[in-house]
A = this chain, B = another copy of it.
Amino acid sequence: MNLILLSPEDLENGRLARVRDPRRLAHLRDVHRARAGDTLTLGVENGLLGRGTLLEYHNDEALFDISGLEEAPPPALPVHLVLALPRPRMLARSLEHATALGVKSLTLLNTRRVEKSYWQSPELDAEKIRHHLVLGLEQARDTQMPEVTLAKGFRPFVEDRLPELLASRRGLVAHPGMPAACPRGVNEPTLLVVGPEGGFIPWEVDKLLEAGCQGVHLGPRILRVETAVTALLSRLA
């Protein structure tokens, strides 16, 4: 945690924030060994960040002066990530990696090789997803909360939703064996589609290409989803 992220409910007014949840309190106690008067790096969700003073620290509450937060969060990565829903533990890590790397829009997509049971995982609860996004933001010292949407049907997503997304973005589908290498350092808005373990089926690749995505690869090596997500985003950054 390189920043203590304050949610809207923590804010008392523009000058004070009160932290009450056990996770952040434990972090303040165990990692920062926090005491009243300490200054710490704080950020307001979807707002500014900077150094703030811990005014009071009790077992069940920490009160911060946040009037000194003046720094903008780091620039977002202009990549909308469309990720075939990974198995739960890999989903958790992929959300953290993508958020830490600056992704602000993320769609979890159903594809043929996504196991049906993954859609029943408690990791898809809004609170669980939010938890991993918060961890990613805290890691990267960012405050801008990503938006995560679920697309439980491949065809409706590709036929109805994708065209409008691609109206203002370059689309890339990462798949082994595609003709072009993944581009480097794109500054324009980009939509990146990453398949499941085992890959897209050929029909899915065709549909994504037909919709206007360009097929790209990362070389001959087959990577785990979480490695591929980080490797692709880093290459695009």
Chain B residues with CB below 8 A from A219, complex form: 74, 237
**Inter-subunit contact B230/A234 (CB<8 Å):** yes
Q: Which of A11-19, A137-145, A151-159, A186-194 contacts B (4 or more CB under 8 A)?
A: A137-145
**Inter-subunit contact A100/B237 (CB<8 Å):** no
Within A185-237, which residues are at the interface with B (CB < 8 Å)? 185, 218-224, 227, 230-235, 237
Instruction: List the number of copies, as a whole number.
Output: 2
Known: A231-B231, A231-B234, A235-B235. A223 touches B184 (CB 8 A): no
Give the nearest-CB partner of A102 in chain B. Answer: B221
Give the nearest-CB partner of A98 in chain B. Answer: B227
**Inter-subunit contact A227/B184 (CB<8 Å):** no
Partner of A101, one of B184, B185, B231, B233: B231
**Inter-subunit contact B221/A100 (CB<8 Å):** yes
Give the nearest-CB partner of A220 in chain B. Answer: B74
Chain A residues touching B, majority SS: loop
Chain B residues with CB below 8 A from A231, complex form: 101, 230-231, 233-234, 237
**Inter-subunit contact B141/A100 (CB<8 Å):** no
A224–B2 CA distance with the chains assembled, in angstroms: 10
A2–B228 CA distance with the chains assembled, in angstroms: 15
Known: A227-B101, A231-B230, A234-B231. A222 touches B139 (CB 8 A): yes
**Inter-subunit contact A223/B141 (CB<8 Å):** no
Chain B residues with CB below 8 A from A97, complex form: 227
**Inter-subunit contact A141/B221 (CB<8 Å):** yes
**Inter-subunit contact A140/B222 (CB<8 Å):** yes
Chain B residues with CB below 8 A from A218, complex form: 234, 237
Query: What residues make up the interface of A, taking CB atoms closer than 8 Å to B?
Result: 2, 74-75, 96-97, 100-102, 139-142, 184-185, 218-224, 227, 230-235, 237
